[in-house]
Amino acid sequence: MEDAAGTTWPERRVTVLCDNTAGRSDLGAEWGLSLALDLGPGDDGGLWLWDTGQSGLFLKNATRLGIDVTRARGLALSHGHYDHTGGVDALFAAGFAGRVHAHPACAWDRYAEEPDGRPRRPIGPPHPLPGILAVEKTARLAPGLTMLADIPRLPGRFQAVDQFSLDPAGTTPDPTPDDAFLVLETSSGPVAVLGCCHSGLSNSLACARQRLGVESFHAVLGGLHLFTAGETAVRETAEALRKFRVERLVAGHCSGRDRVAALRGLVPDCEVRDLSAGQTWIY
């Protein structure tokens, strides 16, 4: 089967190694995200990892799913928060020797506001993050796999950066310039693979159109960071799904199950599913 550009891609498999929920009783769950992307056989294919959750749990789940993450060609990090980078040390300790791709800001210290005036908590990555290959805007990681970071935020569009700072006093806001996502080319069409989507889905998909010429997506998969967002942000997300003719949304981690349910009602032409550890999506 060919994509819209006439390119025939090998079968792509995206397996959820870690999420807030697990779809099998033998798998663990935690507040975090980790995916395994199998690009198919041959020198142009291979296994890639997207984030590592907040601990080594994704490694245990991967073993139960029959995936040897140590053979992955590379790890790409969606941004520098602990729930996406916390398992990096465990991955290297297990024998991973691949490349790590991330925006330079991924290594920053950062903090989040706590309720009731309590001290801000650190939410940054483990230190040091080993051997990062910097992705400042756009990088082709493998044939048909592109990483986009430093996503432009248009005025008035939703972005999930409130209550984040670069210092424990909260005097320097953290705009999360490292927020990134992947565009995976498949024979069914492009698939957007998200981390937390702090830039907002509307800004993110518009960035893919601007830099890569993508006008529609077969699927969007990952976190939307809508769990504390209001109705306006949910409706803007729904409009982005319609505008880019997204056929399937698989949303989890920071999306908020009630917000995902709302999107299901707002975009009836898009198949909306909940993400959970243990799923494998084939494209």
DSSP codes of every residue in the chain: -B-TTS-B----EEEEEE-SSBSSTTS---S--EEEEE--SSTT--EEEE---SSTHHHHHHHHTT--GGG-SEEE-S-S-HHHHTTHHHHHHTT--SEEEE-GGGGS--EE--GGGPPPEE----SSPTTEEE-SSEEEEETTEEEE-S----TTS----TTEESSTTS-SB---TT--EEEE--TT--EEEES--TT-HHHHHHHHHHHH-----SEEEEE---TT--HHHHHHHHHHHHHTT-SEEEEEGGG-HHHHHHHHHH-TTSEEEE--BT-EEE-
According to the model, what pLDDT value does residue 3 have?
Answer: 65
Q: Write the pLDDT tens digit of every residue in 59-114.
A: 999 999 999 999 999 999 999 999 999 999 999 999 999 999 999 999 999 999 99
Q: What is the mean pLDDT of residues 225-238?
A: 97
pLDDT at 127: 84
Q: According to the model, what pLDDT value does residue 2 have?
A: 53
The reported pLDDT for the residue numbered 43 is 77
Cis, peptide link before residue 173, omega less than 30° from 0: no
- Domains detected in the chain: 13-282 (3.60.15.10)
Tell me if 75 sits within 8 A of 91, measured CB to CB. Answer: yes
Cα–Cα distance for residue pair 73/80, rounded to 1 Å = 20
Q: Is residue 233 predicted with pLDDT exceeding 60?
A: yes
pLDDT beyond 60 at 1: no
Q: How far apart (Å, rounded) are the C-alpha atoms in residues 65 and 34?
A: 13
pLDDT surpassing 80 at residue 274: yes
pLDDT given at position 268: 96
Instruction: Report the percent of the chain where pLDDT is more than 90.
Output: 92
Mean pLDDT of the chain: 96
The predicted model gives 39-63 an average pLDDT of 95
Task: Examine the pLDDT at 157 and tell me if it is beyond 60.
Answer: yes
Model confidence band, residue 44 (pLDDT cutoffs 50, 70, 90): confident
Residue 117: predicted pLDDT: 84
pLDDT tens, position by position, 160-175:
999 999 999 999 999 9
**φ, ψ of residue 132 in degrees (nearest 5):** -70, 135
Summarize pLDDT for 124-156 with one digit per residue, the tens: 999 888 889 999 999 999 999 999 999 999 999
Q: What pLDDT, on the 0 to 100 scale, is given for residue 4?
A: 62
Q: Given pLDDT bands bounded at 50, 70 and 90, which one contains residue 222?
A: very high
Partners of residue 191 on adjacent β-strands: 184, 219
pTM of the predicted model as reported, rounded to 2 decimal places: 0.96
| 5, pLDDT greater than 80 | no
Query: What per-residue confidence (pLDDT) applies to 32?
Result: 98
The two three-digit tokens of residue 17, written as one number: 């190694």
